[in-house]
Structure 1
């Protein structure tokens, strides 16, 4: 993964973010249902290289169902078109069975990428839905996002998130800069953000210094769009550029060396710097 990361002034923050993924993945076990041997090998190798302890591979839904009924997996990655039971039926039976993996986060990784098929998958028990082909960086970031939301990492959605001098309050939908004056008195100033800008900052800060891909950001922040336009990356890049300038203008107390606060990992992911390290 490190060979894919940008270098330069932002390189250290980005490298730190991907190192944090390794820490999150360490000790984890994944179930992978995929009947294409070459793709299964590729996905398993990427997960193991990123830090997973084990990836159990299955080509048939029945085998994956038996394993998920007996073993507690941290995450499940399922193709929909598989031998025997299809991936969605396998997931539904795992969810209904109440076994050790019944509540594990599940990602559908499939060539069935139509809107109705995505809706069917999400309503059928999947926590995320990825259409093939998908890049390694996107897959790892999506897996990390689900692990953060799993019970092991869960936190109340209304809890404030503190990152250095910034305090983000999801319930109040505010971002404040908290500082200490020359006399030692605490001061707090509201950062002026549009609803979309707040949504972007919230997604990035909730990731705790770890990468969020641009497709994930689009899915969660541009909710009024019902499709993914061809130029969505350009739309995001323009908004992020403006947001970087706004944060720099409104937070002059932050050292010049820490700007931009939002940094890029290659062209696919964004990270809000971890200011607590």
Structure 2
């Protein structure tokens, strides 16, 4: 895994804010490579996790997940005996303490068929090794956010300062005292991007995550996917500035870069009216 955690000068750094989101969290890690398991555990503990329980085989990992509640399961597919996918299938089929916990497959089996098997087998996300530290941390944060959203009413609005995003109506509105309520005109792809970024609530969304969730018509990751995303984000920034000029130059662009090829929608908690 890539151990580079340095921030790009001038970039907003939402990774520094994740310690609060990870505080008190417990992870189960199934990984039979001791060096990699130690590295992942150290990174999660440094990011704010309270505990990372490490296992080298599926059987004891399954027993622990059935007995104890974990906030996230990180599972390898190439372990001796019961592998991570079989362990997850058995866990999902029962009523153990962690049967509904978000699961992320972290494995060297990165082919499309293997990814489909993992996702259909109960995984919520799938990462092929090697993967950068920040990509892993960002995806774990995303799974924790999604678990929290499942506890909220279906279709609940997302509010960020003057903006209200309605998933059900698929609309983004801005309400400022001086201009009243206004519908922000977005294309379906732009709405999907804004939904992902606003739903992250100030936490980082990597560009690979954004591609996976917004460019759903693509069945593969092209070599130039970053350029495709950058061009769309640039156009989206201009569109938001044109339709929300009242926010002022200090708050534009609303979508800002973060470390590790990540993006963040600004926290506008104090900009409402």
TM-score (norm 2): 0.94
Alignment counterpart, residue 7 of structure 2, candidates 5, 8, 22: 5
- Rounded to whole Å, the distance in 2 between the matches of 1:27 and 1:271 is 24
Higher RCO (CA-CA < 8 Å; seq separation 6+): 2
Q: Which residue of 2 aligns with 1:162?
A: 159
Alignment partner of 1:231 is 2:233: no
Alignment partner of 1:268 is 2:261: yes
Shift of 1:20: 3.1
- Rounded to whole Å, the distance in 1 between the matches of 2:130 and 2:87 is 22
What is the RMSD of the two structures over their aligned residues, measured on CA atoms? 1.7
Structure 1 residues 80-114: Cα deviation after superposition (integer angstroms, max 9, x where no partner): 00021111011111112211011111000001111
Alignment partner of 1:135 is 2:135: no
Alignment partner of 1:126 is 2:123: yes
- Rounded to whole Å, the distance in 2 between the matches of 1:64 and 1:247 is 47
Q: Which residue of 2 aligns with 1:74?
A: 71
State whether residues 25 and 71 of structure 2, in contact with CA within 8 Å, keep that contact through their aligned partners in structure 1. yes
- Rounded to whole Å, the distance in 2 between the matches of 1:93 and 1:249 is 52
Shift of 1:250: 1.1
Alignment partner of 1:26 is 2:23: yes
Q: Which residue of 2 aligns with 1:101?
A: 98
Equivalent position SS for 1:22: helix
Shift of 1:157: 4.1
Structure 1 residues 9-58: Cα deviation after superposition (integer angstroms, max 9, x where no partner): xx4xx33x223311110001100000011111111111000000000011
- Rounded to whole Å, the distance in 2 between the matches of 1:7 and 1:175 is 32
> How many aligned residue pairs are there?
268
Structure 2, gaps ≥5 residues long: none
CA distance 1:127–1:44, change in 2 (3 Å): same
Q: Which residue of 1 aligns with 2:111?
A: 114
Alignment partner of 1:40 is 2:42: no
- Rounded to whole Å, the distance in 1 between the matches of 2:174 and 2:187 is 16
Shift of 1:267: 4.5
State whether residues 137 and 268 of structure 1, in contact with CA within 8 Å, keep that contact through their aligned partners in structure 2. no
State whether residues 22 and 51 of structure 1, in contact with CA within 8 Å, keep that contact through their aligned partners in structure 2. yes
- Rounded to whole Å, the distance in 2 between the matches of 1:251 and 1:211 is 23
Shift of 1:273: 0.5
